[in-house]
């Protein structure tokens, strides 16, 4: 129960250390190639292509009418106009999905619908609007003919085979997130399975003698474990798969056992929460030192000072505070950037991919902070009735107490640099959002 001795590292340095290791781990994952899985295109929405994808066929696979009309030899229509229509004999009709063995000779034409393959001999389609169909009697026989009132150029109203996508053409670049556009292109090429990056697996361990799992009966002196849930869902928002390994009591054996289990299950990242404050703070560093390396033990921020970062057998391991709001803030500051690199979110936006979504807001009241500490203040955002440049007021929330209601009101947090004591009412502050879902719901229309 004595003071804990931390080697405080500066926040910027912590970020640099984590970014470096994240990049190393991402490279290893990319190289080994075991971090790839095949999924149905129908289940691929939002996943990331793990390799370039090429078309095995021409799209369209044949010369295709793009209008309802008549397939003709273009030169038969060159001199047609309203007063002197070209006259052609109809030799048949082709619907979409049908194929015709007929050959369209000069002086003939075939009725054709949008999407049908152009018959041999024809090289253009006259739109139905520019034609009139009629019956003529030739040598006692009824013959169907058309008058063409407007000329067509060769290839007019036709999409040539392969003009949209060529066989062998790259249709999706490696690293692309699959939206309905990409899945549609895959479908067009007849592809129904696709290789995507496996989602990184993140083992989550809660530590603390006082914790029990939600759903179980509450015993005296116990509280329900909150972090397992908030961290699992935050991991999901980073496009990773959480794997909750349960609650470890505050002793070396149980913690060590859980971490061993994380490694055995093949988790890519390990997150523990709790047990980093004065009382039980020595356990996690001991376990890491036994099996790996501690890179960070203590950061110059509040809350989150006792934050731990290490690696065991190349796997990143985070020790977050037990207080749910502190855990969520340190997750967003240090864990989320690493997970986003591993999951490949925003992989194309170098430099920007490490950041959470941010918005600007006005401080609703004066905010006081401790001098000499980089402080993170949770805020609740309230949309302004008459938004100006900013659309929100930011109300500070008390973070120290570990209150759950603070958590439920927190939309994001603002950073107050060491040395700044007062943020004035009305001052513009940058709010880092705690959840993407927030953005897609409450903020949906507020983002211009």
Judged by CB under 8 A, the chain residues 337 through 396 that form the site for a copy of itself are 345-346, 348-349, 352-353, 355, 357, 359-360
Judged by CB under 8 A, the chain residues 134 through 193 that form the site for a copy of itself are 159, 164-165, 171, 177, 179-193
- Of 8, 15, 51, 68, the one binding a copy of itself (CB under 8 A) is 68
Backbone angle region of 344, left / alpha / beta, with phi > 0 → left and psi within -120 to 50 → alpha: left
Residue 210 lies near a copy of itself (rule: CB under 8 A): yes
Q: Which of 159, 251, 186 is nearest to 38 (CA)?
A: 186
User: Which secondary structure element, helix H or strand E, spans residue 53, and what is its range?
Assistant: strand 53-54
Nearer to a copy of itself, 60 or 298 (CB): 60
Report the SS3 class of residue 7: strand
* Dihedral, 406, 409, 414, 418 alpha carbons, nearest 10: -10
Q: Which stretch binds a copy of itself (CB under 8 A): 112-120, 296-304, 310-318, 415-423?
A: 112-120
Nearer to a copy of itself, 70 or 309 (CB): 70
Residue 408 lies near a copy of itself (rule: CB under 8 A): yes
Residue 278 lies near a copy of itself (rule: CB under 8 A): yes
Asked whether the beta carbons of 169 and 188 are under 8 A apart, the reply is: no
Nearer to a copy of itself, 24 or 233 (CB): 233
- Of 29, 35, 60, 315, the one binding a copy of itself (CB under 8 A) is 60
54-82: string of b/e by CB count within 10 Å (b at 16+)? ebebbbbeebbbebbbbbbbbebbeebee
- Of 5, 32, 34, 99, the one binding a copy of itself (CB under 8 A) is 99
Nearer to a copy of itself, 2 or 140 (CB): 2
Nearer to a copy of itself, 311 or 325 (CB): 325
| Minimum distance from residue 209 beta carbon to a copy of itself (Å) | 3
- Of 50, 86, 91, 230, the one binding a copy of itself (CB under 8 A) is 230
Residue 400 lies near a copy of itself (rule: CB under 8 A): yes
Asked whether the beta carbons of 376 and 303 are under 8 A apart, the reply is: yes
Give the Cα separation of 223 and 127 in Å (integer): 75
Give the Cα separation of 365 and 422 in Å (integer): 10
């Amino acid at each position: 129960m004595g003071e804990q001795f931390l080697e405080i590292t500066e926040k910027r340095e912590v970020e640099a250390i984590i970014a470096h290791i994240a990049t190393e781990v991402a490279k290893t994952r990319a190289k080994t190639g075991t971090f790839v899985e095949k999924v149905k295109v129908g289940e691929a929405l939002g996943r990331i292509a793990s390799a370039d994808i090429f078309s095995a066929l021409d799209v369209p696979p044949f010369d295709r009418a793009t209008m309802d009309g008549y397939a003709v030899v273009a030169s038969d229509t060159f001199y047609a106009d309203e007063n002197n229509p070209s006259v052609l004999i109809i030799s048949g009709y082709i619907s979409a999905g049908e194929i015709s063995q007929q050959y369209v000779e000069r002086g003939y034409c075939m009725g054709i619908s949008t999407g049908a393959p152009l018959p041999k001999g024809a090289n253009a389609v006259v739109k139905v609007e520019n034609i009139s169909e009629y019956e003529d009697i030739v040598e006692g026989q009824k013959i169907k003919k058309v008058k063409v009132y407007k000329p067509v150029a060769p290839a007019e109203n036709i999409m040539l085979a392969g003009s949209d996508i060529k066989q062998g053409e790259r249709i999706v670049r490696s690293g692309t997130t699959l939206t309905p556009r990409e899945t549609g292109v895959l479908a067009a090429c007849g592809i129904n399975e696709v290789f995507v990056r496996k989602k990184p697996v993140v083992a989550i361990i809660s530590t603390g003698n006082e914790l029990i799992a939600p759903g179980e009966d509450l015993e005296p002196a116990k509280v329900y474990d909150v972090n397992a849930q908030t961290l699992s869902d935050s991991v999901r928002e980073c496009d990773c798969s959480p794997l909750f390994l349960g609650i470890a009591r505050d002793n070396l054996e149980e913690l060590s056992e859980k971490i061993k289990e994380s490694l055995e299950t093949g988790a890519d990242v390990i997150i523990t929460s709790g047990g980093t404050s004065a009382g039980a703070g020595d356990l996690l560093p001991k376990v890491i030192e036994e099996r790996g390396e501690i890179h960070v033990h203590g950061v110059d921020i509040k809350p989150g000072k006792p934050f731990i970062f290490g690696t065991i057998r190349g796997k990143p391991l985070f020790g977050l505070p037990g207080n749910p709001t502190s855990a969520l803030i340190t997750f967003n500051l240090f864990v989320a950037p690493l997970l986003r690199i591993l999951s490949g979110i925003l992989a194309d936006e170098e430099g920007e991919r490490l950041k959470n979504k941010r918005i600007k807001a006005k401080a609703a009241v004066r905010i006081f902070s401790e001098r000499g500490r980089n402080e993170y203040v949770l805020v609740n955002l309230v949309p302004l009735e008459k938004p100006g440049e900013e659309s929100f007021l930011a109300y500070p929330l008390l973070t120290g107490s570990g209150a759950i209601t603070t958590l439920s009101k927190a939309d994001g947090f603002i950073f107050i640099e060491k040395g700044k004591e007062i943020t004035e009412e009305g001052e513009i502050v940058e709010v880092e959002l705690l959840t993407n879902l927030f953005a897609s719901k409450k903020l949906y229309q507020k983002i211009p």
